[in-house]
């Protein structure tokens, strides 16, 4: 064992340039962090990520984020092989389980048999039923939903079924039960959907509706063992922070924390760092994606990156020489791009330990499973046949 604790931190949706297969997804030219840098016109301040080499891993530096002459970390990019570009695909692939078969998507809304069953089970009418931005469809139909108690059902370009409801009209427990039932309808073979998402919101009217942190993801059960299962079976302690527990349906996790926000998530990271354990902490920070990427808000996205970078300084200061921090993303979500969906991109890979004698390039890693293979390699656990460990490259 080289490192006692490994912290794997996913900046949800922070892509770093269109992947080679982006044209297949209609995402050519997407570049989440690059275009955010352009939006800030040289004022995107990410000093900690810069020192680690976040601009070094790119063909062109992020505007305002200098290339590091003497990077404090190892840096590179990861390229996805999974059939989709959703959070589930990205995280599963990181943990040695690429999604090779495309999941069901619904560009024309959900078929009548699914909607009929949802209405019969819930005793409520379904409205919406189309691909749409969550904030837009809630603003459009939220007041009607408050009056009638209907369910706002919608999707996106990803394999998701989302159900929105006002928290004062449909209690959270009821919304979650409806989502659990919806999950049971799309586990195959006819329809195979990656995630059912409960999207509760509050507010008095369309001008003041806001989605709450009580969102829950009901994800397809992992179709095979993941690297977290392998770690857990080997007696290695596994911690999940943020929506990790939802993405893996609780599998392979010993200790879990739900995030209210990115900053709440970083509070959880600080807490876990004070614990004395040997193992892996897998973290997802979703605000980049949910609050700013899908809403096509580059200003908010950049501010969230700068807030994260400040908190990253605290994490680095609290790390021990035998700690390892691996920062990456699960997909892109370019806030300057057309539409409101995820974008197929390379994701950054930044790997840091205060015990490093040097930094350097890790090149382009594919599949994402190299990430999990490195964690397993560190703890002497076998079983990830998808990825290739880069542990030996860290000096």
pLDDT in tens, 358-375: 999 999 999 999 999 999
pLDDT at 349 over 90: yes
Tokens of 146: 């408050």
pLDDT at 67 over 90: yes
Specify the fold of 112-219: Alpha-Beta Plaits (3.30.70)
Segments making up each domain of the chain, as ranges:
5-100+221-393, 112-219
Q: Which residues contact 369 (CB under 8 A, 6 or more apart)?
A: 93, 94, 95, 96, 97, 98, 384, 386, 387
CA distances from 92 to 69, 172, 266, 351 (A): 34, 27, 22, 20
SS3 string of the chain?
CCCCEEEEEEECCCCCCECCCHHHHCCCCCCHHHHHHHHCCCCCCCHHHHHHCCCCCCCCCCCCCCCCCCCCCEEEEECCCCCCCCHHHHHHHHCCCCCCCCCCCCCCCCCHHHHHHHHHHHCCCEEEEEECCHHHHHHHHHHHHHHHCCEEEEECCCCEEEEEEECCCCCHHHHHHHHHHHHHHCECCCCECCEEEEEEEECCCCCCCEECCCCEEEECCCCCCCHHHHHHHCCCEEEEECCHHHHCCCCCCCEEECCCCHHHHHHHHHHHHCCCCCEEEEEEECHHHHHHHCCCCHHHHHHHHHHHHHHHHHHHHHCCCCEEEEEECCCECCCCCCCCCCECECEEEEEECCCCCCCEEEEEECCCCHHHHHHHHHCCCCCCCCCCCCHHHCC
- Residues 82, 88, 89, CA angle at the centre, nearest 5°? 5
Mean pLDDT estimate for the chain: 97
Find the mean pLDDT for residues 172-179: 98
Find the mean pLDDT for residues 342-359: 97
- Residues 299, 38, 10, CA angle at the centre, nearest 5°? 65
pLDDT at 383 over 90: no
pLDDT at 175 over 90: yes
pLDDT at 384 over 90: no
244-291 pLDDT tens trace = 999 999 999 999 999 999 999 999 999 999 999 999 999 999 999 999
Q: In percent, how much of the chain has pLDDT > 90?
A: 98
Residue 72 · residue 351 · CB < 8 Å:
no
Residue 27 · residue 18 · CB < 8 Å:
yes
Q: What would be the CATH architecture of the domain defined by 5-100+221-393?
A: 3-Layer(aba) Sandwich (3.40)
**Structure pTM?**
0.92
pLDDT interval class at 154 (50, 70, 90)? very high
* Pairing outcome for strands 237-241 and 279-285: parallel
93-115 pLDDT tens trace = 999 999 999 999 999 999 999 99
In this predicted structure, what is the pLDDT of residue 200?
Answer: 98
306-322 pLDDT tens trace = 999 999 999 999 999 99
In this predicted structure, what is the pLDDT of residue 56?
Answer: 98
Distance in Å from the first CA to the final CA of the chain: 14
In the annotated binding site for Mn(2+), the residues are 12, 289, 294, 330-331, 342
Find the mean pLDDT for residues 177-192: 96
Indicate if 112-219 has the same CATH topology as 5-100+221-393: no
In this predicted structure, what is the pLDDT of residue 355?
Answer: 95
pLDDT at 64 over 90: yes
In this predicted structure, what is the pLDDT of residue 364?
Answer: 98
In this predicted structure, what is the pLDDT of residue 1?
Answer: 86
pLDDT at 144 over 90: yes
In the annotated binding site, the residues are 12, 289, 294, 330-331, 342
């Amino acid at each position: 064992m080289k490192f006692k604790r490994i912290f794997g931190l996913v900046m949800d949706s922070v892509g770093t340039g269109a992947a080679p297969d982006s044209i297949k997804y209609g995402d050519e030219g997407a570049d989440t962090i690059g275009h955010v840098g352009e939006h800030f016109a040289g004022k995107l301040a990410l000093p900690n990520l810069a020192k680690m080499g976040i601009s070094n891993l790119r063909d062109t530096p992020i505007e305002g984020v200098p290339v590091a002459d003497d990077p404090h970390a190892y840096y590179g990019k990861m390229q996805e092989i999974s059939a989709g570009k959703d959070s589930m695909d990205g995280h599963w692939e990181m943990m040695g389980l690429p999604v090779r078969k495309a999941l069901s998507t619904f560009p024309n809304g959900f078929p009548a048999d699914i909607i009929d069953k949802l209405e019969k089970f819930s005793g409520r009418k379904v409205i919406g039923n189309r691909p749409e931005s969550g904030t837009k469809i809630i603003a459009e139909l939220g007041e009607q939903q408050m009056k009638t108690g209907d369910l706002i059902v919608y999707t996106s370009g990803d394999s998701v079924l989302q159900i929105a409801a006002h928290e004062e009209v449909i209690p959270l427990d009821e919304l979650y039960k409806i989502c659990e039932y919806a999950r049971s309808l799309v586990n195959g073979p006819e329809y195979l959907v990656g995630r059912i998402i409960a999207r509760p919101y509050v507010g008095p009217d369309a001008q003041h509706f806001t989605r709450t942190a009580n969102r829950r993801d009901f994800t397809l059960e992992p179709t095979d063992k993941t690297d977290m299962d392998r770690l857990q079976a080997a007696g290695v302690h596994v911690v999940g922070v943020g929506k990790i527990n939802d993405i893996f349906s609780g599998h392979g996790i010993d200790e879990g924390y739900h995030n209210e926000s990115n900053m709440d998530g970083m509070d959880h990271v600080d807490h876990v760092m004070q614990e004395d354990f040997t193992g892996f902490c897998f973290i997802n920070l979703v605000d980049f994606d949910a609050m700013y990427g899908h809403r096509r808000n580059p200003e908010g996205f950049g501010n969230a990156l700068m807030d994260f970078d400040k908190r990253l300084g605290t994490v680095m200061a609290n790390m021990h020489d035998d700690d390892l921090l691996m920062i990456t993303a699960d997909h892109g979500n370019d806030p300057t791009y057309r539409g409101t969906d995820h974008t197929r991109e390379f994701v950054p890979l930044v790997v840091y330990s205060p015990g490093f004698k040097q930094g350097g390039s890790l090149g382009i890693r594919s599949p994402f499973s190299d990430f999990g293979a490195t964690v397993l390699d560190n703890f002497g656990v076998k079983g990830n046949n998808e990825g290739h460990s880069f542990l030996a490259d860290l000096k």
